[in-house]
Amino acid sequence: MKERFVGIFKAIGRFFVKLGNAIKRGVVCAARATGRFLANFWRSFRAFCGMIYSNKKAFAGAIILILFAFLAIFGRLIFPYDDKTSFADMYLKPSGEHWLGTDGMGRDLFDMIIHGTQDVMSIAIFTAFFTVGFGVLMGIISGYAGGWTDRIIGLISNVFMSLPQFPILLILSMFITIRDNFTLALILSVFSWPGLARSVRSQIMSLKERDFIQICSVMGVGRVHIIFTELLPNIMSFVAINFISSMKNAITASVGMMTLGIALFEPTNWGAIIVSARNSGAFAIPAARLCIIAPVVAIMLFQIGAILFSNGLDEAFNPRLRKN
């Protein structure tokens, strides 16, 4: 019995040593690949822009996304937000001074939405980054290694997938309040990586049976090399599409988190605007409807942009469609 445990521990130890080596090689390989990527970047970037430009959907989506990115970076400089409350200016109609009117505390609604863009975008990007990074890593490991590794990762991802998200978050909200976007993004991605990991896994599994991967082992090309220079480029467009769509999902989810009260209330976050408008009974006040409509439209616009862009990417990158 004892020997068996020692054996298992040794095996685990060996596994980690191997894993360490693989990661080390992976990092070196990835660094080299990145170098080459940067060297080719300008050329590829221009080709990419050309491709986006020729695809109407992708182009429209790109315009919307660029607009949001621009607002997130420069919006606060162009439209400074004044958080002074004044009940005298409550629910003003749209005018030259207040383009979308004011909210229940007399703040300029348009400025609030612009101000909130940065938070919304950073949550979205962080979440997408974590989701895609972790999901792709797990998917590749489990798809390429197969066997026990695959089963264990499969089990973990199934557990995460079957966790009831809302009840757990409700319970969590009694104990913790998230104060920064980074943590919020981490929590959001905990629930979204397994789906991506699964689809990456199935892609890797089918790619690994393809002739051009099989022949690599006959030609003496190493495993790390196969993963980073043969497999990864083949799923890159898929990853890019998923990045965009998990950004889209993160925005909706983060609004939900604020409504639940798990995340700290940032008054200019689009979700928060909706929540506070609802709490102050804006549904009943015709003049206040804009306080609901404006942030919803902003969310929808971003979603449409994300959907258009990712669909367009799919069309532009799919080699089967590109072949002709």
Partner 1 sequence: MKILEIEKLNMVFTTRGLNSAERVHVLRDIDLEIEQGEIMALVGESGCGKTTLGKIITGLLDPTSGTIKFNGNDIASRNKKQKREYRKSVQFIQQDSYAALNPVKKIYSSLYTPIKANNRKLKRAQIDALIVKYLEMVGLTPASLFLEKFPHQLSGGQRQRVLIARVLSLEPKLIVADEPISMIDVSLRLSILQLLIELNQKLGLTIVYITHDLSTVKYVVGEGRMAVMYLGEIVEYGKVKDVILQPVHPYTQALISSVSIPDPVIERNKPMIRLKSMEIPDIRHRCEGCGFTDRCLYADDACAAWKLENTYTEEHIVRCKNVQAIPPYAVLGEEKHE
What number of chain residues touch partner 1 (CB under 8 A)?
Answer: 21
- Rule CB under 8 A: say whether 147 interacts with partner 1: no
Q: Which is nearer to partner 1, 7 or 222 (CB)?
A: 222
Determine which residue in the list 220, 279, 284, 286 makes contact with partner 1, applying CB under 8 A.
Answer: 220
Determine which residue in the list 35, 50, 222, 281 makes contact with partner 1, applying CB under 8 A.
Answer: 222
Q: Which is nearer to partner 1, 89 or 150 (CB)?
A: 150
* Alpha-carbon span 306 to 321, nearest angstrom: 21
Determine which residue in the list 45, 212, 265, 283 makes contact with partner 1, applying CB under 8 A.
Answer: 212
- Rule CB under 8 A: say whether 218 interacts with partner 1: yes
Residue matched to tokens 């599409």: 241
For 236, other C-beta atoms within 10 Å of its C-beta total 12
Q: Which is nearer to partner 1, 69 or 221 (CB)?
A: 221
218 alpha carbon, distance to own chain's centre: 38
Quick check: 100 and 116 in contact, CB under 8 A?
no
- Rule CB under 8 A: say whether 208 interacts with partner 1: no
Residues 6+ apart with CB under 8 A from 20: none
CB of 162 to partner 1, least distance (A): 23
Q: Which is nearer to partner 1, 96 or 319 (CB)?
A: 319
Binding positions for partner 1, 232-261, rule CB under 8 A: 233-234, 236
Note the residues at the interface with partner 1 (CB under 8 A): 210-212, 214-222, 225, 229-230, 233-234, 236, 319, 322-323
